[in-house]
Amino acid sequence: MNPDICRERENATFNAESLTYILDGGPEKTRRRREIESLVVNDPDFQHEDLNFLSRSERYEAAVKKSAQMILKLREYGISDPEEIYFYKSVVHRGRSEPLDLHLGMFLPTLLNQATSEQQDRFFMPAWNLEIIGTYAQTEMGHGTHIRALETTSTYDPSTQEFVLNSPTVTSIKWWPGGLGKTANHAIVLAQLYTQGKCHGLHAFIVQTRCMKTHMPLPGVVVGDIGPKFGFDEVDNGFLKLENVRIPRTNMLMKYAQVQPDGTYVKPPSDKLTYGTMVFIRSMIVGESSRALSKACTIAIRYSAVRHQSEIRPGEPEPQILDYQTQQYKLFPLLATAYAFRFVGQYMSQTYHRITGDINQGDFSELPELHALSAGLKAFTTWVASAGIEVCRMACGGHGYSRCSSLPDIYVTFTPTCTYEGENTVMMLQTARYLVKSYRQASEGQRLSGIVSYLNESQSRVQPQPVSARPTVTNINDLASLVEAYKLRAAKLVELAAKSLQGEMQRSKSPEDAWNNTSIDLVRASDAHCHYVVVKLFTAKLSEVKDTAIHSVLSTLALLYALHGVSIHSGDFLQAGLLTVPQLSQISQRLKGLLSELRPNAVALVDAFDYRDEMLNSSLGRYDGNVYEHMFEWARKSPLNRTEVHESYHKYLKPLQSKL
Amino acid sequence: MNPDICRERENATFNAESLTYILDGGPEKTRRRREIESLVVNDPDFQHEDLNFLSRSERYEAAVKKSAQMILKLREYGISDPEEIYFYKSVVHRGRSEPLDLHLGMFLPTLLNQATSEQQDRFFMPAWNLEIIGTYAQTEMGHGTHIRALETTSTYDPSTQEFVLNSPTVTSIKWWPGGLGKTANHAIVLAQLYTQGKCHGLHAFIVQTRCMKTHMPLPGVVVGDIGPKFGFDEVDNGFLKLENVRIPRTNMLMKYAQVQPDGTYVKPPSDKLTYGTMVFIRSMIVGESSRALSKACTIAIRYSAVRHQSEIRPGEPEPQILDYQTQQYKLFPLLATAYAFRFVGQYMSQTYHRITGDINQGDFSELPELHALSAGLKAFTTWVASAGIEVCRMACGGHGYSRCSSLPDIYVTFTPTCTYEGENTVMMLQTARYLVKSYRQASEGQRLSGIVSYLNESQSRVQPQPVSARPTVTNINDLASLVEAYKLRAAKLVELAAKSLQGEMQRSKSPEDAWNNTSIDLVRASDAHCHYVVVKLFTAKLSEVKDTAIHSVLSTLALLYALHGVSIHSGDFLQAGLLTVPQLSQISQRLKGLLSELRPNAVALVDAFDYRDEMLNSSLGRYDGNVYEHMFEWARKSPLNRTEVHESYHKYLKPLQSKL
> Based on the domain organization, do B263 and B285 belong to the same domain?
no
On average, the pLDDT of chain B sits at 94
Q: Is residue A22 part of a domain?
A: yes
Cα torsion at B164, B170, B172, B175 (round to 10°)? 110
Confidence of residue B472 (pLDDT cuts 50, 70, 90): low
d(CA A590, CA A203): 56
Contact B648 A64 (CB under 8 A): yes
On chain A, the residues whose CB falls within 8 A of the CB of B465 are none
Which chain A residues are Cβ-neighbours of B637 within 8 angstroms? 227
Alpha carbon distance B415, B381 (integer Å): 11
User: Which of B229, B466, B512 has the CB atom closest to A402's CB atom?
Assistant: B229
Q: Is the pLDDT of residue B470 over 60?
A: no
pLDDT band of residue A468 (cuts 50, 70, 90) is: very low
pLDDT at A458: 59
Residue A280 has pLDDT above 60, yes or no: yes
DSSP β-ladder status, B186-195 and B265-266: unpaired
Which residue among B183, B466, B653 sits closest to A68, beta carbon to beta carbon? B653
Strand duo B198-208 + B186-195: pairing = antiparallel
- Is residue B427 pLDDT above 50, yes or no? yes
Is the CB of residue B617 less than 8 Å from the CB of residue A89? no
Annotated binding site of A for FAD: 139, 178
Q: What is the mean pLDDT of residues A74-83?
A: 90
Whether A434 maps to a domain, the answer reads yes
Nearest CA-CA distance, residue B492 and chain A, Å: 13
**Where residue B274 falls among pLDDT bands split at 50, 70, 90?**
low
Number of C-beta neighbours around residue A2 at 10 A: 18
Taking Cα atoms as reference points, which of B190, B371, B369, B343 lies closest to residue B280?
A: B371
The answer to whether the beta carbons of residues B292 and B410 sit under 8 Å apart is yes
In terms of CA atoms, which chain B residue is nearest residue A174?
B632
pLDDT of residue A469: 47
Identify all chain A residues contacting B324, using CB atoms and an 8 Å cutoff.
516, 519
Q: Which residues of A touch B648 (CB under 8 A)?
A: 60-61, 64-65, 182
CB atoms closer than 10 angstroms to residue B350: 12
Torsion sign, CA atoms A392, A396, A398, A400: negative
Tell me the C-alpha distance between A149 and B319, whole Å: 12
Question: Residue B171's domain spans which residues?
Answer: 134-268
Q: Tell me phi and psi for residue B154, to 5 degrees.
A: -130, 110
Chain A residue at shortest CA distance from B61: A648
Name the least confident of A267-271, A651-655, B123-127. Answer: A267-271
User: Between chains, do B170 and A229 touch, taking CB under 8 Å as contact?
Assistant: no
Q: Nearest to residue A56, comparing CAs of A299, A275, A225? A: A225
- Residues of chain A with Cβ-Cβ distance to B230 below 8 Å are 401-403, 408
pLDDT value at position A459? 56
B-chain CB neighbours of A518 within 8 Å are 325
Half-sphere exposure of residue A571: CA atoms within 13 angstroms, side-chain side = 22
Task: Tell me, yes or no, if A84 is annotated catalytic.
Answer: no
- Same domain membership, residue A297 and residue A214: no
Which residues in chain A touch residue B182, judged by CB atoms under 8 angstroms apart?
640, 645-646, 648-649
pLDDT digits (tens, 9 = 90+) for B606-659: 999 999 999 999 999 999 999 999 999 999 999 999 999 999 999 999 999 888
Inter-chain residue contact A229 with B631, CB threshold 8 Å: no
Distance, CA of A194 to CA of A203 (rounded, Å) = 10
Share of chain A above pLDDT 70, in %: 97
Q: Inspect the interface and report whether the beta carbons of A581 and B129 lie closer than 8 Å.
A: no
> What distance in Å separates the CA atoms of residue A54 and residue A66, rounded to the nearest whole number?
15
- Rounded to whole angstroms, the Cα distance separating B25 from A18 reads 64
Say whether both B410 and B514 belong to one domain: yes
Indicate yes or no: CB of B639 within 8 angstroms of CB of A56. Answer: yes
**What CATH number does residue B159 fall under?**
2.40.110.10
Higher-scoring residue by pLDDT: A444, B509: A444
Residue B490 predicted with pLDDT over 90: yes
A547 and A423 share one domain: yes
- For residue B224, list chain A residues with Cβ-Cβ distance below 8 A: 635-636, 640-641
Residue of B nearest to A390 (CA): B387
- Best to test chain A binding among B173, B182, B232 (most A CBs inside 10 Å): B182
Do A161 and A299 belong to one domain?
no
Alpha-carbon span A98 to A103, nearest angstrom: 10
- The rounded radius of gyration (Å) of the Cα atoms in chain A is 27
A161/A264 Cα distance (integer angstroms): 12
Q: Are strands B186-195 and B136-137 parallel, antiparallel or unpaired?
A: parallel
Interface touch B628/A171, C-beta < 8 Å: yes
Q: Report the pLDDT averaged over residues B145-160.
A: 95
β partners of residue A224: A239
Task: Find out whether B115 and B124 touch, Cβ atoms under 8 Å.
Answer: yes
Binding-site entries of A: 139, 178
Contact B656 A419 (CB under 8 A): no
Residue A470 has pLDDT above 80, yes or no: no
Q: Which of B131, B466, B574 is nearest residue A571 as measured by Cβ atoms?
A: B574
Mean pLDDT of the region A341-364: 87
A206 in a structural domain: yes
Q: Is A209 in the same domain as A328?
A: no
Task: Please check whether residues A258 and A332 belong to one and the same domain.
Answer: no
Note whether B426 and B303 are same-domain residues: yes
Q: Average of pLDDT values for A173-178?
A: 98
- Averaged pLDDT, B65-90: 92
Closest of B566, B505, B530 to residue B435, by C-alpha: B530
A33-55: pLDDT as tens digits: 999 999 999 999 998 889 999 99
To test the contact with chain A by mutation, choose from B108, B176, B232, B649 the residue with the greatest count of A C-beta atoms within 10 A, namely B649
Whether residues A152 and A38 fall in one domain = no
Q: How far is A646 from chain B (nearest CA, A)?
A: 6
Residue B229 DSSP code: B
* Residue A467 pLDDT exceeds 50: no
Read off the pLDDT of each residue in A69-85 and give the average, rounded to a whole number. 91
Q: Which of B532, B522, B467, B471 is nearest to B500 (CA)?
A: B522
Q: How do residues A214-257 score in pLDDT, each as one tens digit?
A: 999 999 999 999 999 999 999 999 999 999 999 999 999 999 99
Q: Sort strands A136-137 and A162-166 into parallel, antiparallel or unpaired.
A: unpaired
Q: Which of A268, A293, A315 is the last residue of a domain?
A: A268
In a domain, residue B515? The reply is: yes
Task: Identify whether A84 is part of a domain.
Answer: no
**B165 phi/psi in degrees, rounded to 5:** -100, 140
Question: Measured between beta carbons, which residues in chain B are less than 8 angstroms from residue A239?
Answer: 632, 635
Contact A657/B394, CB-based, under 8 Å?
Answer: no
What rounded mean pLDDT belongs to chain A? Answer: 94
Query: Is the residue at B98 inside a domain?
Result: no
- The Cα of A42 is separated from the nearest Cα of chain B by a number of Å equal to 21
How does residue B458 score in pLDDT terms, banded at 50, 70 and 90?
Answer: low
Measured CA to CA, the distance from residue B128 to residue A318 in angstroms comes to: 40
Q: How far is CA A191 from CA A104, A137, B130, in A?
A: 21, 9, 61
B337 in a structural domain: yes
Which element (helix H / strand E) includes A63? helix A56-77
Q: Do the domain assignments include residue B540?
A: yes
Catalytic annotation, residues of B: 421
Per-residue pLDDT, averaged over A286-310, amounts to 97
Average pLDDT of A337-362?
Answer: 89
Helix (H, G, I), strand (E, B) or coil at B646: coil
pLDDT average, residue stretch A285-301: 97
Given a cut of 70, whether residue B179 has pLDDT beyond it is yes
- Phi then psi for A236, rounded to 5 degrees? -90, 70
Q: Radius of gyration (Cα) for chain B, nearest Å?
A: 27
Model pLDDT, residue B268: 87
Q: Is the pLDDT of residue B51 over 50?
A: yes
Model pLDDT, residue A274: 63
Helices and strands of chain B, counted as H and E runs: 25, 11
Would you call A401 and B416 a contact, using CB atoms and an 8 Å cutoff? yes
Q: What is the pTM of this model?
A: 0.97
Element (H, E) at B589: helix B581-598
User: Mind telling me how many Å the CA of A191 is from chain B's nearest CA?
Assistant: 17
- Structural domain count, chain B: 2
Cα distances (angstroms) measured from residue A74 to each of A82, A128, A178: 11, 12, 22
For B264, phi and psi rounded to 5 degrees? -65, 135
Q: Nearest residue of A to residue B148 by CA position?
A: A310
Q: What percent of chain B has pLDDT over 70?
A: 97
CATH code of A600's domain: 1.20.140.10
Q: What is the pLDDT of residue B466?
A: 44
- Interface A-B, measured as beta-carbon pairs within 8 A, has a size of 392
Cβ contact B227–A143 (<8 Å): no
Out of A8, A151, A162, A421, which one is annotated catalytic? Answer: A421
Pair B440, B383 in one domain? yes
Q: What are phi and psi of A468, to 5 degrees?
A: -70, -25
- Shortest Cα–Cα distance, B97 to chain A (Å): 15
Taking CB atoms and an 8 Å limit, are B142 and A404 in contact across chains?
no
**Who wins on pLDDT, B362 or B320?**
B320
Q: Please give the Cα distance from B266 to B255 (Å, whole number).
A: 11
Q: With contact defined as beta carbons under 8 Å apart, do A41 and A614 qualify? A: yes
In this prediction, residue B471 carries a pLDDT of 52
Dist. CA B466–CA A437, nearest whole Å: 38
Distance between CA atoms of A496 and B116, rounded to whole angstroms? Answer: 70
C-alpha span between B392 and B301 (Å, rounded): 8
Q: Which residue of chain B is at minimal alpha-carbon distance from A70?
A: B656
**Closest in A55, A173, A400 to B632, CB measured:** A173
Residue to mutate among A124, A131, A230, with most B CBs inside 10 A, is A230
Which residue out of B103, B652, B658, B659 would a mutagenesis test of the A interface target, given it has the greatest number of A Cβ atoms within 10 Å? B652
- pLDDT band for A367, please (50, 70, 90 cuts): confident
Of A225, A520, A571, the CB nearest to B635: A225
- Nearest residue in A to B388, CA atom: A387
Does A438 share its domain with A499?
yes
Residue A462 has pLDDT above 90, yes or no: no
Indicate the pLDDT class of residue B358, thresholds 50, 70 and 90: confident
Contact criterion met (CB below 8 Å) for B70 and B88:
yes
Q: What is the pLDDT of residue B469?
A: 47
Q: Considering CB atoms only, which of B128, B581, B629 is closest to A467?
A: B581
Of A61, A401, A426, the CB nearest to B230: A401
Q: How many angstroms away from the CA of B324 is the closest CA of chain A?
A: 6
pLDDT 10s digits, B370-407: 899 999 999 999 999 999 999 999 999 999 999 999 99
Q: Quote the pLDDT of residue A471.
A: 52
Which of A325, A467, A640 minimises the CB distance to B225?
A640
- In chain B, residues with a C-beta closer than 8 Å to the C-beta of A129 are 657, 660
CB contact under 8 A, A129 and B660: yes
What band does B273 get if pLDDT is binned at 50, 70 and 90?
low
User: Do B240 and B290 share a domain, yes or no?
Assistant: no
Tell me the C-alpha distance between A385 and A334, whole Å.
8
Cα dihedral A336→A337→A343→A344 (10° resolution): 160
Burial of A437 (0-12, 13-18, 19+ CB in 10 A): middle
